[in-house]
Amino acid sequence: YVWPSPYDFLEDAYTVSSGFGDGGIVDGVNPCSFAPIGGRLPGRQAAAEWLRVAYHDSATYNIETGLGGLDASIGFETDRPQNVGRSMNDSLVFFGAFQSKTSSMADVIALSVILAIKNCGGPSIPFRAGRIDAESAGPATVPEPQQDLASHTSAFALQGFNVTEMIGLVACGHTIGGVHQVDFPLSVENAITPSNPDGVVHFDDTFDSFDNRIATQWIDGTSVDPLAVGFNATTNSDARIFAADGNQTMEAFAQDPDFFSTQCGSLLERMLNTVPKSVQLSEIINPLPVKPFQLFLSLATNGSLVLSGNIRIFDTSPAAAAASAANMPVTLSWKDRNGKPNATYSTSAVAVSETSGSLWGSVYFFEVNVAIDPNFGISSFVVDWAFDSQLPLTHSDNGGSGFPFQDVVLNLPDKSCRNPDQTTTVFAVIRNNMGLVTDAYVDYTSNVNQQGSISVKQVTTRTPLVHVGNSSSVLYDTYSATFANGPQTDEGRITFDVVASISGQTYISLNNPEVFAFC
């Protein structure tokens, strides 16, 4: 896709997993054995919990009605016996920080699994976005270990998976994590100790590696899986499922780790893309090679425009892996508001001092901070760069026409602030020589608590911008809007857009960050 896109925030979270510009999700599952949230006890493993959340959310799908699937309805279902334990709500609280106007909770759940599995050494699962969050619970169709094989077979069939695929999905799910005695005392006994307070027994002896060990141990008779060789035959659902085709699938998994990995990749991809039939998923989101990151244009107090923020470069080549950001030439060149280039419309972007990591390749950030004459303005830019000053430059023009950048409506982050009465006042400037401003407003996205779910719903409220007066530049007028902050929670990424319609054209300053300064 080309920038800007509604999926830019999810693409950032998908692409950058540490250091500068960190998307933040992988921090919750790194290393694979990790459990991040305060109060979590030893024996809990966030990567496994996230995968289980996604399965339980998607297991509400009904192939006959096309309803259910991965839609975050899990938030309303955590009081059911099949969702016992704190893992579901703890995971949803962690995911809340990544929910935004353009990233539904269901998309974050899908992305969390893709990142967690990759970070645990598993397959690369393609990521599509566009899931829509349910506003109520789905049917109680998550399988439970005491049920018989026939009910499991029909439960998986209702979700669109045949017997071979059921065996695959269960083996792929149960290659990380384990069963906790505190939550499943009918399946695990005598496991609680001071150092294992939840009494976890892992499914295989490499619980923190997404590998085929669950299959090799099952086939060679050394399985430790409490749902396969547990003391209670009634809850040994894995044994019944693994043997459902005479062990053919488990044999194949045990013999070939690559087969296990690719099968898990495609089965889990299908599971994550099981969505209500009304939902249209996006194309596959891959890291963009060159992308602006938190790049904003604003008006300085001296009347100059200032373009500031970052350019990100991503690549999978050996040259990229060997590069050092400080030695990478990166130049941003812009066109003025009439689409004209000029030799002086150019600036070197400087490597940020902190490095960054990605699960998918190498990623580097460069800082831009350049004054632009408001008389000429900006309409787009391109980036010329190389992994080393000895190498020829690559010309990145965002698929042909450059990275579009409007200079008509600008947020003024330094003036905007929070009032003592739980409202925020946003200031913006709008160019005054382009005709009549027929409409101008701020769209502010904040959180609304949902009864019955720990997750918030994000809602956008629109507030008209009021003309305030002139600005530091004769070319711009100042406007402001005051609106309620909304409930203060840790969840949901709060952003606002500033929009103006002038002479039949709409101009938008997108995704400005929440205001924290007090007035």
Instruction: Map the footprint of ligand HEM across residues 28-57, applying CB under 6 A.
Output: 45, 48-49, 51-52, 55
Q: Does 179 bind ligand HEM (CB under 6 A)?
A: yes
Nearer to ligand HEM, 232 or 432 (CB): 232
Q: Distance between CA atoms of 253 and 313, rounded to whole angstroms?
A: 38
In the bound complex, what is the minimum distance in angstroms from residue 132's beta carbon to ligand HEM?
22
C-alpha distances in angstroms, 37 versus 201, 452, 499?
21, 22, 38
- Round the CA-based radius of gyration of the chain to a whole number and report it: 26
* Size of the residue set binding ligand HEM (CB under 6 A): 27
Is the distance from CB of 430 to CB of 437 less than 8 angstroms? yes
Nearer to ligand HEM, 175 or 471 (CB): 175
Q: How many CA atoms lie within 13 Å of 88's alpha carbon, on the beta-carbon side?
A: 23
Nearer to ligand HEM, 172 or 285 (CB): 172
Nearer to ligand HEM, 12 or 225 (CB): 225
Q: Does 173 bind ligand HEM (CB under 6 A)?
A: yes
Nearer to ligand HEM, 150 or 343 (CB): 150
Segment interacting with ligand HEM (CB under 6 A) among 170-178, 255-263, 272-280, 493-501: 170-178
Interface pick for ligand HEM out of 169, 288, 382, 510 (rule CB under 6 A): 169
Antiparallel, parallel or unpaired: β 362-372 and 350-351: antiparallel
Interface pick for ligand HEM out of 101, 180, 291, 335 (rule CB under 6 A): 180
Q: Does 184 bind ligand HEM (CB under 6 A)?
A: yes
Q: Is 38 exposed, middle or buried (0-12, 13-18, 19+ CB in 10 A)?
A: exposed
Is the distance from CB of 90 to CB of 40 less than 8 angstroms? yes
In the bound complex, what is the minimum distance in angstroms from residue 177's beta carbon to ligand HEM?
2
Contact letters (x/-) for ligand HEM, 71-110, by CB under 6 A?
A: --------------x-x-----------------------
Interface pick for ligand HEM out of 145, 230, 265, 287 (rule CB under 6 A): 145
Cα 99 to chain centroid, rounded? 8
C-alpha distances in angstroms, 199 versus 36, 44, 83, 232?
18, 10, 17, 16
In the bound complex, what is the minimum distance in angstroms from residue 13's beta carbon to ligand HEM?
21
C-alpha distances in angstroms, 290 versus 79, 350, 411, 507?
44, 15, 24, 24
Q: Does 22 bind ligand HEM (CB under 6 A)?
A: no
Nearer to ligand HEM, 176 or 359 (CB): 176
Cis previous bond, 31, omega within 30: yes
Q: What are phi and psi of 43, to 5 degrees?
A: 100, -15
Of 358, 238, 232, 244, nearest to 291 (Cα)? 358
Q: Does 172 bind ligand HEM (CB under 6 A)?
A: yes
Angle at 500 between CA 498 and CA 504, to 5 degrees: 150
In the bound complex, what is the minimum distance in angstroms from residue 370's beta carbon to ligand HEM?
48
Interface pick for ligand HEM out of 72, 117, 120, 176 (rule CB under 6 A): 176
Residues in the chain, total: 519
Nearer to ligand HEM, 109 or 170 (CB): 170
Q: For tokens 């488990």, what's the residue?
A: 250
Amino acid sitting at position 135: E
446 token code pair: 């904040």
Q: Distance between CA atoms of 395 and 385, rounded to whole angstroms?
A: 7
In the bound complex, what is the minimum distance in angstroms from residue 152's beta carbon to ligand HEM?
5
Segment (H or E) for 253: helix 248-255
Nearer to ligand HEM, 183 or 514 (CB): 183
Segment interacting with ligand HEM (CB under 6 A) among 13-21, 165-173, 389-397, 427-435: 165-173
Segment interacting with ligand HEM (CB under 6 A) among 167-175, 211-219, 315-323, 462-470: 167-175
| Sheet of 350-351, strand order | 290-299, 305-315, 362-372, 350-351
Residue 6 pairs in a beta bridge with: none
Residue 463 pairs in a beta bridge with: 442
Residue 462 pairs in a beta bridge with: 443
In the bound complex, what is the minimum distance in angstroms from residue 147's beta carbon to ligand HEM?
7
Nearer to ligand HEM, 55 or 76 (CB): 55
Nearer to ligand HEM, 116 or 408 (CB): 116
In the bound complex, what is the minimum distance in angstroms from residue 110's beta carbon to ligand HEM?
13
Interface pick for ligand HEM out of 28, 122, 138, 143 (rule CB under 6 A): 143
Of 442, 466, 456, nearest to 490 (Cα)? 456
Is the distance from CB of 162 to CB of 169 less than 8 angstroms? no
In the bound complex, what is the minimum distance in angstroms from residue 39's beta carbon to ligand HEM?
15
Instruction: Map the footprint of ligand HEM across residues 205-244, applying CB under 6 A.
Output: 227, 237, 241
- Interaction site with ligand HEM (CB under 6 A): 45, 48-49, 51-52, 55, 85, 87, 143-145, 152, 169-170, 172-174, 176-180, 183-184, 227, 237, 241
